[in-house]
Structure 1
Amino acid sequence: MGEHLDADGFAPLRIKRVVRETSDAVSLVLDVPHHCSGRFRYQAGQFLTLRVTLDGRDLRRCYSMSSAPVEDELRITVKRDPGGLVSNWLNDTASEGVELLVAPPEGRFLLRDNHRGIVAFAGGSGITPIMSLIRTALATSVRPIRLFYANRSRDSVIFADTLSRLVDRHADRLTLTQHFDDDGGIVTPTAVESFVAAAGPADYYICGPGPFMDTVESAVRKSGVPRERIHLERFQVTQAPADAVAAEADVTTDEVVIELDRTTTAAPYRAGNTLLQTARTAGLRAPSSCETGSCGTCMARIVSGSARMLNNDALDDDEVAEGWVLTCQSLPTSRTVHVVYE
């Protein structure tokens, strides 16, 4: 096994153990060699990017750690997804000893360094980073934790036994509420508001399918929680809605100027493409990872012109004010745009 990351920042890691969590979810414990240990240290809530080649296609997908830094292992959990090429391939074929190409941890879905309580909402596989956060908070703090965990049915609950043990062991600090769609329908704003009403001052962590996250975020905001205390991690790529593209039709973007690796490239713009897609079309290897607007890997600064972000769960208001954007989520809104990767 080589001692260095390849040109794209990936290292080969072997699967040390495979844990079948449910019929459609699997955990993979990865063996990190000593010479790579520094690069693969992580914070709770972060994710790894895997690169696999399937049917001749180079595919990259992000998977959150379900382990916690206080544990002596690196584990990701992958749920089968309709149309999910890599997720389904891992569920079907991952076995002990198989080598995966993995990039070091990234992501900003992190525990905030304060003494406030933690209120977490997880939907389906969104429990993965939430588990890492909860395990870390239980081991390193005395913060109270409230978890709302939604699933389609009881047999789709990932980490059911682990959560039960954690609740038993930390009954004074950890409260778990489970919701099953096949019992009561999808999660409603009323259910979210009721759960929030019982919490004191807290930071809020939300992860799951898009509609679930939208419902929860809206209800939490309606309950009066300040925006800076709400932290989101999306697994689904945000697509540019037709009305968003149409809204920019009054201004035709002709060109995007991209500064990357000390080289300036003037790229023609194709309507509907993000800044990241434009860079790729121009043959540039622009940095990216999650492509959902959550990790911040693709961030760059607009020095002239303008763009609007479809989704932003990574940049704070000060960064946006300084011109920073997530290029994977940014549509140009001026005739020319000059963007700098720093």
Structure 2
Amino acid sequence: MTGDADVDGFAPLRIKRVVRETADAVSLVLDVPERSSRRFRYQAGQFLTLRVNVGGQDVRRCYSMSSAPVEGELRITVKRDPGGLVSNWINDTAAEGDQIHAAPPEGRFVLRGDLSGATEVVAFAGGSGITPIMSLARAAVDDPDRRVRLFYANRARDSVIFADPLDRLVAEHGDRVLLHKHFDEDDGVVASAAIEAFIAPAGDAHYYVCGPGPFMDTVERTLLAAGVKESRVHLERFTVAAAAPSAIDQSGVAEEVVIELDRQSTTASYRKGDTLLQTVRSAGLRAPASCETGSCGTCMARVVEGSAHMLNNDALDDDEVEEGWVLTCQSLPTSRKVRINYE
């Protein structure tokens, strides 16, 4: 622990400013105290895990930064979600001067340091998926050799988040920023043809995708069909469709999970249907975790004995998977005994 962070690593941050972006989306500019500044350094595209108390219950949720480090501030943007406990609480009650608890930035949805010769960033955002994309775009244009192409889809014009900031980004950077706005109310939901037309002029690029599940699936499928290498397609999912454990081959009938954490080994009984992370927690252990959607990589551990199946993986690359790494929040054991090591 550093500064005034608690045992779970959460530190109090003051809300410096509240910005109403749309009728159902708000940005919070957070004031990071000097004693916590090093822990809250971040890369564009990462997210914060917030812990808030709603109705007497501590709840954790992850929200992407919409600011970039070059701007010198830390800002998250939260869209109201029907039935969303924390997103609605933030939109309804967050006020300047309030205190909110956050864990340090996490996430792998960041600009790649070695673009392998690629100078273009091609991004696809749907609805509130613009939040991390905005962070990436602001960081990318700070490099005078990079171009940014952004396809932004919304249901209607009144739901566009960052309408004015996006227009300013285009105006300030001229031909280095191309913005295409798609509105379902005019052209229907985004189809492969629109994506193909948008990427046709793109050069050797990395592609970043964030938004509703069906939108992301369409974009990913179209990019891969167009010949884009999978290693150059980067996804950030806010939610993951639940997969039925019964659909996974657990014929190995797992009985126990051995957990190597903090130089200690703990053996836990396995309850069918639980993920490895749930098993770790049931054993009373505190393992690293954040998004719990398979996007950030915080909960990764290596399977050193036995086997496990990942329901979703938007964080680990093929080499890491080949070496036995799994996202414990998304992994079900598929052998009688599984040993995992949090190295």
- Equivalent position SS for 2:194: helix
Verify the 8 A CA contact 1:65 1:128 in the aligned structure 2: yes
Matches within 5 A, 1:92-111: 92-111=92-111
Verify the 8 A CA contact 2:251 2:334 in the aligned structure 1: no
Verify the 8 A CA contact 2:119 2:145 in the aligned structure 1: no
Q: Out of 227, 230, 235, which is 1:224 matched to?
A: 227
Q: CA deviation at 1:68?
A: 0.8
**Residue 195 (structure 1) aligns with:** 198
Using the alignment, how far apart are the partners of 1:44 and 1:177 within structure 2? 21
Verify the 8 A CA contact 2:250 2:335 in the aligned structure 1: no
**Residue 72 (structure 1) aligns with:** 72
Using the alignment, how far apart are the partners of 1:326 and 1:238 within structure 2? 16
In structure 2, give the amino acid aligned to 1:337: V
**Residue 337 (structure 2) aligns with:** 336
**Residue 151 (structure 1) aligns with:** 154
Q: Deviations over 1:131-189 (max 9, x none)?
A: 11101111123211110001111100000011111112222111111111222221112
Q: CA deviation at 1:238?
A: 4.1
Tell me the TM-score normalized by structure 2. Answer: 0.96
In structure 1, give the amino acid aligned to 2:294: G
Verify the 8 A CA contact 1:122 1:147 in the aligned structure 2: yes
**Residue 282 (structure 2) aligns with:** 281
Tell me the TM-score normalized by structure 1. Answer: 0.96
Verify the 8 A CA contact 1:238 1:329 in the aligned structure 2: no
In structure 1, give the amino acid aligned to 2:21: E
Using the alignment, how far apart are the partners of 2:317 and 2:328 within structure 1? 15
Q: CA RMSD in A?
A: 1.4
Using the alignment, how far apart are the partners of 1:157 and 1:49 within structure 2? 24
**Residue 321 (structure 1) aligns with:** 322
Verify the 8 A CA contact 2:140 2:146 in the aligned structure 1: yes
Using the alignment, how far apart are the partners of 2:291 and 2:163 within structure 1? 27
Give the % identical residues. 70
Gaps of 5+ in 1: none
Verify the 8 A CA contact 1:238 1:311 in the aligned structure 2: no
**Residue 81 (structure 1) aligns with:** 81
In structure 2, give the amino acid aligned to 1:204: Y
**Residue 32 (structure 2) aligns with:** 32
Using the alignment, how far apart are the partners of 1:59 and 1:201 within structure 2? 42
1:166 aligned to 2:169?
Answer: yes
Using the alignment, how far apart are the partners of 2:320 and 2:248 within structure 1? 24
Using the alignment, how far apart are the partners of 2:247 and 2:63 within structure 1? 33
**Residue 313 (structure 2) aligns with:** 312
Verify the 8 A CA contact 2:251 2:335 in the aligned structure 1: no
Q: Deviations over 1:70-127 (max 9, x none)?
A: 0121100000011211111000000000000011111111111234211000011110
In structure 2, give the amino acid aligned to 1:256: V
**Residue 131 (structure 2) aligns with:** 128
- Equivalent position SS for 1:9: coil
- Equivalent position SS for 2:9: coil
Verify the 8 A CA contact 1:238 1:310 in the aligned structure 2: no
In structure 2, give the amino acid aligned to 1:94: A
| Aligned residues between the structures | 339
In structure 2, give the amino acid aligned to 1:281: S
- Equivalent position SS for 2:130: helix
Q: CA deviation at 1:56?
A: 2.9
Verify the 8 A CA contact 1:289 1:297 in the aligned structure 2: yes
Q: Cα gap change, 1:207/1:168 in structure 2, threshold over 3 Å: closer, same or farther?
A: same
- Equivalent position SS for 1:70: helix
Runs of 4+ deviating beyond 6 Å? none
- Equivalent position SS for 1:170: helix
